[in-house]
A and B are shown apart, each in its own frame.
Chain A
Amino acid sequence: MTRTETELEITRDDSSSHDVILEVRDVDVTFDMERGTSRVLDGVRFDVHRDEMLGIVGESGSGKSMFASALLNAVVDPGQTSGEIIYHPPDGEPVDVLSLSEFQLERFRWEEISMVFQGAMSSFNPTMKIGEHFEETIRAHGEDIEERMEHGWQLLADLYLDPGRVFDSYPHELSGGMKQRTLIALSLILEPKVLVMDEPTAALDLLMQRSIMSLLGNLQEEYDLTIVFITHDLPLVAGLADRLAVMYAFEFVEYGPSEQVIRDATHPYTRALLKSVPSVDASLEDMHPIEGESPDPVNAPSGCSYHPRCPLATVECVQADPDYHEVSEERGAACFHWEQSGDEIEYALGVDPDEFPESTAAFESEEETVVSLDDVDVHFEQAGLIDELFGKESVVRAVNDVSIELRENEVVALVGESGCGKTTLGKTVIGLQEPTDGSVSYRDQDIWEAKAGGGDYEFDDIRRALQIVHQDPGSSLNSSRTVRASLSAPLKRWRPDLGPSDRETVIYNLLKRVGMKPPEDYAARFPHQLSGGEKQRVVLVRALLMSPDLILADEAVSALDVSLRVEMMDLMLDLQELFDTSYLFISHDFSNARYLTEKSDGRIGIMYLGNLVEIGPAQEIISDPKHPYTKVLRWATPPLDPDEAKEANATDPPIREIDIPDPTDPPSGCPFQTRCPDAREVCTREVPELQCTEGAARVACFREDDDHEYWASEPIESDTVSLETESEAD
């Protein structure tokens, strides 16, 4: 990155209007690799302001984790960090973090800047109690144990944890969300001034993510913290961060106050990213994937690193690396054409909720039913022989009395928290999991009867008609077979009439169709030579080659980068028309489910503790959720529009308890009654059935029935939680 002295002055002057706590100057991080030097941070220049919450957004491989590590001078070997990171303590002389000695660094880390890593699950020593982790940290920094432990106690309490119990637990005894909160407390134990968080919520459920985000806001105020929050999930930070910085190809391309960046992004990449992120409120026509691929750190493009993908790119962009152009006083964008970007790449935030058409067509569809489930139960016995002798029964009711019909060319999405039984239900639908009660039929033929040898359809035909696409494309492809070999297998099995050259033609055509060109080249590759998105495409194509009637897509886009998800989902819908297939799409993410179903006039089903609590047309579920649990999930899915996001952040979650009850010991009556804000006495006794509502959706809640005794029943007395209370989860 080239720049002159005067420009440096300008940035210095600019930043001086704010109280700067961290000045990052020309920081490079390089790794020597066999095929050349990999530059994973490239001349990064940035200021972090005191007491702000800074959101850093970027796709995977954009260098954002490296930036986090560099702030603590903790880049892993053999990475080389160069440049300057000046830390300004509240009182005292500024220090250059990168030139501290190893001994000084040990003091500096955790006392001044601390960090929360991505994997909270593996951030604790599994053979040590949580309390010991706190104590050893305090001791290592020579602080007063009692005073600090008291602080730790307070922090845990602030994070809605039971400190006594947590200190006395081993890491595996805490749930993921609890571990993550404990890790936050551990990183704040020495009262650092800056907290760097690298994707702290990525592995958690939506609801837990949102709760932790709200708690962070409280902590920040209470302890005067500067928080650097790094994520790939733009909507997650958009409403909460004071400022946003967007990373692309190992440097920041744009920064500024978050509302301005979201509303009126100036860098073409930011604008493209905003368009590509699936969210619950943006209009579908506006969502578009970003063309092309992120650059390789070993040979990044010359000039502006975004020029190969940028619609505005000119000769200038290829030749010179753009500097930050001051958009307004506090904003900068590294683009020569930032003034035109607004006109060239348009995007809109949010759609008016009353705009949606009254479409119930999909629900009343006349299409033939492909698979239907009738009162299906799937219960897993956890007890063995000995347990039975001792009279203890522990049955996990993964699926409880679910009836659902999937029609031809339909897209149905199942949404729910982890452990709600959505995957089990999905596997039951495609005949991989035998139900313990009820029946699963394929075109009016009971699947399990067919397997036993009865019925009109051969079981092999049913097997072929019901296919699956897994979450992790990497592990569902045989790593020692080429794409061609993987794709030929289903054809050999089901189309024995095709010769080798015919098979090749079919495969090449399909590969071309899914955008893998030239197909001859791709067909010869092994899985490790493909990117994540390409692998998922191969898996999808392989499933489609069986010309199935229904494909179960289990979290099929969750492992992909944000900007690739829309592309993948578009492809799925595109191929649906070509192959005449239906999808059962499983997701924990409302925005993905919404994108896929709303675009295809499909349905969304909400699952909770093995029960289907609401099902209906996508638009209705999104804009007018009826079941209290659907409302909670809706709350946990942050909107992108800054105004709406602010509003959503201000409201407390419509829920009484954050943790899911133990599935081996589900609550009596309505499964949701323990957490439901509207629960009344009758809900603890009776189980609501799915019933029709004014709209096209069906909801399992007494509140939909105006004459139900619910309305006369006593409300359950409980403290309305400001954010959450702990339950006996383990």
Chain B
Amino acid sequence: MRYFVKRVVHAAVTLVSVTTITFALFRLMPGNPAQAMRAQFEADMEAGGGTADPEVLDAMVEQHIGFNPDQPWYIQYVEYLRDIILYQDFGQSYFYNEAVFDILFTAMPWSIFISVYGLALGYTTNILLGAAMAYKEGSRFDNYATVLATFLNSVPYYVGAILFLAFFGYELGLFPTGGRYNTDLQTGLNVRFMASISYHAVLPVMSSFIVGFGGGALSMRGNSIRILGEDYLRVARLRGISSTRIATRYVARNAILPLYTQMMIGIATVFSSSVLLEFIFTYPGVGWYTYDAVMRRDYPLLMGSFLFFTIVTLIGILIAEFTYGLVDPRIGSGDHSESY
């Protein structure tokens, strides 16, 4: 129990620090976005022939970045934290003129949909391929698969995504080149709509699959080979335990353990990669909005998605920590050792 409390406290500390850093980056740096923006507006207005009324300027800047620049920084900071924690108010997107929270909240399921499928697919393939490589250690299959895994591991996912798009989307025309679903269809729980969603998701999922693929297969291979040399495996064979049970209950079970944490932390990689992936596939998820926010200097939205990625990563790591005890009994409540 103490362990859980400790972990949650760690996560909370991390979250607050990230929020603080975000805040500091936007507010306290000399020549920060707020000042830059103010200067920009002033120049714009003067160029337009009007006079820059400081109050109007302040109001405009506040609308853009969500703060009142006249208040001392610590009050801004407290208000900023208060809004986020108490009201889930991340501010107002100035471009969409909508609450940042609402924008991200509607976009989130789409990103999760793409990422989770990509991740699940990637890791399943990794585990199966890695185990197969370990069983056939030193064979021709093992050698080729190692080369393939190393190759895929070193191809950046966005290169893969662009190649997918160019080849399957434009060259062959097999898959749509953008969007989340066919907008002509009636939305809701009908078969054609669902099919359209899956159809549109194929390329992004495939690209996101590449993110999680490769390295995992190689470490699964290494883990399995190590387990195959363990004493308990030899004893189990002598006891006459069937080879399927040995493969699943003994080798796979123990070899997956170190991969588990890696996978949970991998969630963060997949989400952060979604920024480029969703942009490439014009797939309006959180990543797409983030990219959009950068391009349009929509600071509230940008800060919102930054926090969103942090929270997702923290939740992923927390889930990994809390469920690790279930997966590996040796960790137990984590009170004694954390050797994994």
> Which residues in A have some Cβ–Cβ distance to B below 8 Å?
72, 74, 76, 106-107, 109-110, 114-115, 117, 119, 122-128, 136-137, 140-141, 170, 172, 186, 384, 386-387, 390, 392
- A110 engages B329 (CB within 8 Å): no
Given contacts A122-B230, A125-B232, contact A170 B330 (CB under 8 A): yes
User: How far does the alpha carbon of A386 sit from the alpha carbon of B7 in the complex, in Å?
Assistant: 11
C-alpha gap A137/B9 in the complex (Å): 44
**Does A386 lie within 8 Å of B6, measured CB to CB?**
yes
B183 within 8 A of A: no
A125 and B236 contact, CB distance less than 8 A: yes
B329 touches A136 (CB 8 A): no
Task: Establish whether residues B240 and A123, one from each chain, have CB atoms under 8 Å apart when the complex forms.
Answer: no
Interface range on chain B: under 10, 10 to 19, 20 to 34, or 35 or more? 20 to 34
* In the complex, chain A residues whose CB is within 8 Å of the CB of B257: 127
Does A117 contact B235, Cβ atoms closer than 8 Å? Answer: yes
Closest to B253 in A: A127
Residue picked from B235, B257, B327, B329, most chain A C-beta under 10 Å: B235
| Chain A residue contacts of B330, Cβ below 8 A | 126-127, 170, 172
Residues of chain A within 8 A (CB-CB) of B253 are: 125, 127
CA separation between A127 and B232, bound complex, in Å? Answer: 11
29 residue pairs from A and B, CB less than 8 Å apart: A74-B238, A107-B240, A109-B238, A110-B238, A110-B240, A117-B234, A122-B231, A122-B232, A123-B235, A124-B232, A125-B249, A125-B253, A126-B232, A126-B329, A127-B254, A127-B257, A127-B327, A127-B328, A127-B329, A137-B240, A140-B239, A140-B240, A170-B330, A172-B329, A172-B330, A186-B239, A384-B6, A386-B6, A386-B9
Which chain B positions have C-beta within 8 A of A123?
231-232, 235
- Chain B hits for A141, CB < 8 A: 240
In whole angstroms, how far apart are the Cα atoms of A170 and B332 in the complex? Answer: 10
B14 smallest CB distance to A (angstroms): 16
A390 to B4, CA, bound (A): 13
Q: Is the CB of B238 within 8 A of A136?
A: no
B2 within 8 Å of A (CB atoms):
yes
A137 touches B249 (CB 8 A): no
A109 touches which one: B6, B230, B240 (CB < 8 A)? B240
Of all chain A residues, the one with the shortest Cβ separation from B327 is A127
Query: In the assembly, what is the distance between CA of A392 and CA of B6, in Å?
Result: 15
Q: A-B pairs with the 10 shortest C-beta distances? A: A122-B231, A106-B240, A170-B329, A140-B240, A172-B330, A137-B239, A123-B235, A119-B231, A386-B6, A140-B241
Which of A109, A122, A125, A386 is the one whose CB lies under 8 Å from B250?
Answer: A125
- Could you say which residues of chain A place their CB within 8 Å of the CB of B249? 125, 128, 136
The residue on B at minimum CB distance from A109 is B238
Please, how many angstroms separate the alpha-carbon atoms of A386 and B3 in the complex? 9
Contact B5 A386 (CB under 8 A): yes
* C-alpha gap A127/B233 in the complex (Å): 13
A272-B235 Cα distance, complex, nearest whole Å: 35
Contact check: which of A124, A128, A140 meets B242 at CB < 8 Å? A140
How far apart sit A117 and B236, CA to CA, in the bound complex (Å)?
Answer: 12
B245 contacts the other chain (CB 8 A): yes
**Shortest distance in angstroms between B229's beta carbon and chain A's nearest beta carbon?**
10
Question: Please, which residues of chain A bring their CB within 8 A of the CB of B328?
Answer: 126-127
Contact assessment for B254 and A125 in the assembled complex, using a CB-CB cutoff below 8 Å: yes
A106 contacts which chain B residues (CB < 8 A)?
A: 240
B238 neighbours in A (Cβ, 8 Å): 72, 74, 109-110, 114-115
CB-defined contacts of A74 to chain B, threshold 8 Å: 234, 238
Instruction: Choose one: A124, A136, A384, A392; the contact of B241 (CB below 8 Å).
Output: A136
> Contact at B231–A390, with CB atoms within 8 Å?
no
Given A122-B232, A125-B250, 14 extra CB contacts under 8 A: A109-B240, A110-B238, A117-B235, A119-B231, A122-B231, A125-B254, A127-B253, A127-B327, A127-B329, A127-B330, A128-B249, A136-B245, A172-B330, A390-B2
| In the bound complex, CA of A109 to CA of B238 (Å) | 6
The reply to whether A76 and B234 contact each other, CB–CB distance below 8 Å, is yes
Asked whether B241 lies within 8 Å of A387 as measured between CB atoms, the reply is no
Give 1 or 0 for each of B1-40: 1 = CB within 8 Å of chain A CB: 0100110010000000000000000000000000000000
Partner of A387, one of B2, B235, B236, B329: B2
Q: Which of A74, A122, A141 has the most CB of B within 10 A?
A: A122
Q: What's the least CB distance linking A686 to chain B, in Å?
A: 33
- Nearest B residue (CB) for A392: B2
What residues on A are CB-neighbors of B232 within 8 Å? 122-126
Q: Is the CB of A126 within 8 A of B254?
A: yes
Residue of A with least CB distance to B254: A127
Which residues of chain B are near A115, meaning CB under 8 Å?
A: 238
Which residues from chain A contact B254 at a C-beta distance below 8 Å? 125-127
* A390 cross-chain contacts in B, Cβ below 8 A: 2
Give the residue name and chain of the A residue nearest to B242 (CB): A140
Nearest residue in B to A136 (C-beta to C-beta)?
B241
A119 CA / B239 CA spacing, docked (Å): 16
Select from chain B the residue with minimum beta-carbon distance to A387: B2
Closest B residue to A189 by CB, please name it: B239
What are the residues of chain A within 8 A of B9 when measuring CB–CB?
386
Nearest-CB residue, chain B, relative to A76:
B234
Which residues from chain B contact A392 at a C-beta distance below 8 Å? Answer: 2
**Closest Cβ of chain A: how far from B232's Cβ, in Å?**
5
Residue in A closest to B6 when the chains form the complex, CB atoms:
A386
Task: Considering the complex, give the chain B residue whose CB is closest to the CB of A72.
Answer: B238
| Bound Cα distance from A122 to B328, whole angstroms | 15
Query: How far apart are A419's CB and chain B's nearest CB, in angstroms?
Result: 15
CA distance A126 to B255 in the complex (A): 11
A106 to B238 CA separation, bound complex (whole angstroms): 7
User: How many whole Å from A267's CB to the nearest CB in chain B?
Assistant: 32
How far does the alpha carbon of A386 sit from the alpha carbon of B232 in the complex, in Å?
A: 37
Q: Given the complex, which residues of A lie within 8 Å of B240, measured CB to CB? A: 106-107, 109-110, 137, 140-141
- The complex places the Cα of A321 from the Cα of B248 at a distance, in Å, of 50
From A125, A127, A140, A387, name the one whose CB has the most chain B CB atoms within 10 angstroms: A125
CB distance from A105 to the nearest CB of B (A): 9
Residues of the A chain whose Cβ atoms lie less than 8 Å from the Cβ of B250: 125
> Which residue on chain A has the smallest CB distance to residue B251?
A125
CB distance from B144 to the nearest CB of A (A): 24
Task: Report B-chain residues with C-beta under 8 Å of the C-beta of A110.
Answer: 238-240
